[in-house]
Amino acid sequence: MWESFRKLFKGYLKLERSLSDNSIEAYLRDVEKLEQYLLAHGKEKLRPQDITLADLQACVQWISQLGMTPASQARTISGIKAFYKFLLLEDMTQEDPTQLMDAPKLQRKLPDVLTFEEIEKIIAQIKLDTAEGHRNKAILETMYSCGLRVSEVIGLQLTQLYMDAGYIRVLGKGNKERIVPIGKEAMRQIDIYRRNVRIHMPVKHGEEDTLFLNRRGGMLSRVMIFLVIKELTKLAGIQKNVSPHTFRHSFATHLVEGGADLRAVQQMLGHESITTTEIYTHLDREYLRDTLAQYHPRF
């Protein structure tokens, strides 16, 4: 019974919302959690239209007892809310029982941020006597120069580079495009990689326009870039929890610390809402507080 609703929801997420396959699967898993609760409690005959707020609250309590973290619970609730908004939009239900659902309160954890010196130290660990070394240096310089998500850097195309103008065209979440300035060092490393490495590589069919390739000529994986950064961080002797996203956080933090306009940072990061970007003002306040603590005699 629920399968037909899930198929329609999947089509909506793909065609109307233009979400990635990973995001779509996450939303569908959230709806499946509600189905699993109904099945476990003998309510499997209920249709989405029959679900009440009490059912949803009991479901949240059930997934909490399963040991799901508050963040995972909030994620599931968000997915179920999106499902019911879709049902309302398509006139498949007249009421939305999720309107009064409360998600668990989450502490906003400030991410680890690298200093410019730490970023330089990590990049300095790259061995440039291999083809992969030149590629990896171009990748890290581009991630820090443009604040790209890891999915955006591995999906970067040759036809998205406008080096003469000093910009790249980025395809972000929901297939939304944005234009981002790129720094001279990142452009230089991309040029070295293209002229000295990529031109000599075999390229898989369908990947002719992909900028960064693995040794078999295919697109890189997120995991591969994650492992490269973890290894370089270890070699640099840096104890922070560093991931590809840390370079994006550092890009934004350094801009805000330098006095950049928050709206400009929002556009470069591709954030839909300024509220998401505002986390970097909190990071900036922490920086100011640390500065006072270090240098002010009365603080």
What six digits make up the tokens of 275? 């509220």
Q: Which of 273, 268, 238 is nearest to 256 (CA)?
A: 268
Radius of gyration of the chain (CA): 23
Q: Considering 33, 134, 249, 271, which one is annotated as catalytic?
A: 271
- Catalytic, 254? Answer no
At residue 167, φ and ψ (nearest 5 deg) are -135, 160
What six digits make up the tokens of 24? 């779509």
Q: Considering 27, 37, 84, 280, which one is annotated as catalytic?
A: 280
Q: Considering 173, 194, 204, 222, which one is annotated as catalytic?
A: 173
Q: Considering 198, 248, 249, 254, which one is annotated as catalytic?
A: 248
- Catalytic, 205? Answer no
- Catalytic, 121? Answer no
- Catalytic, 248? Answer yes
CA 87/CA 8 separation, integer angstroms: 9
Q: Considering 149, 198, 249, 254, which one is annotated as catalytic?
A: 149
- Catalytic, 263? Answer no
Q: Considering 17, 43, 188, 245, which one is annotated as catalytic?
A: 245
- Catalytic, 271? Answer yes
Contact status, residue 179 vs residue 169, Cβ threshold 8 Å: yes
CA 28/CA 7 separation, integer angstroms: 9
Q: Can you point out the beta strands (E) in the chain?
A: 161-162, 167-171, 177-181
- Which are the catalytic amino acids? 149, 173, 245, 248, 271, 280
